[in-house]
Structure 1
Amino acid sequence: MPERPTNTPKKDAPGNADKPVDEWVTGDEPMTGAQASYLKTLCQEANVEFDPTLSKAEASKQIDALQVETGRS
């Protein structure tokens, strides 16, 4: 019986989490539902207005900043 191929990334290929936000191919798409939900929570904790029009990349950057501000990093 032939071996099944695995879906493990190559060791030298960075995963999506390792790629800089500004290099995301889909970074200009609207933020995901998960990002919106988490960002709303962080905005409430930091007393910052939530912007539902952010792109994936913009939302990621704001999440990173608010995590630091709220002590969640």
Structure 2
Amino acid sequence: MTQSANDSQENPKSHPTSNAEKDPGDWTTGNEPMTGAQASYLKTLCEEAKEQFDDTLNKADASRRIDELQKKTGRGSQ
């Protein structure tokens, strides 16, 4: 039996050395200020969740906060 092309390809997120999804605490730029895109999305999520927006978060903390608020609001879930 032969493998199809899809069967032989690995999911990049499941590969142990993949950078596709890294913990924000491991980001080399995690201590930099959050990006404009993060700030914009975070503001939207905060409004929907009726929570305070913190404009002092760094990239890593903003990413974690986005994850929390996505769970609370149901955004980002598939």
Per the TM superposition, whether the score is higher than 0.5 is: yes
| TM-score with structure 1 setting the length | 0.79
* Number of positions where the alignment pairs a residue of Structure 1 with one of Structure 2: 63
Unaligned ranges ≥5, structure 2: 1-14
Alignment of 1:26-37 (within 5 A): 26-37=29-40
Structure 1 outlier segments of 4+, above 2 Å? none
* Alignment match of 1:14 (pick from 8, 18, 35): 18
CA RMSD of aligned residues (A): 1.7
By relative contact order (CA 8 Å, sep 6+), the higher-ranking structure is 1
Percent identity over the alignment is: 61
Unaligned ranges ≥5, structure 1: 1-10
1:26-60 residue CA offsets vs partner (Å, 9 max, x unmatched) = 00000000000000000000000100010000000
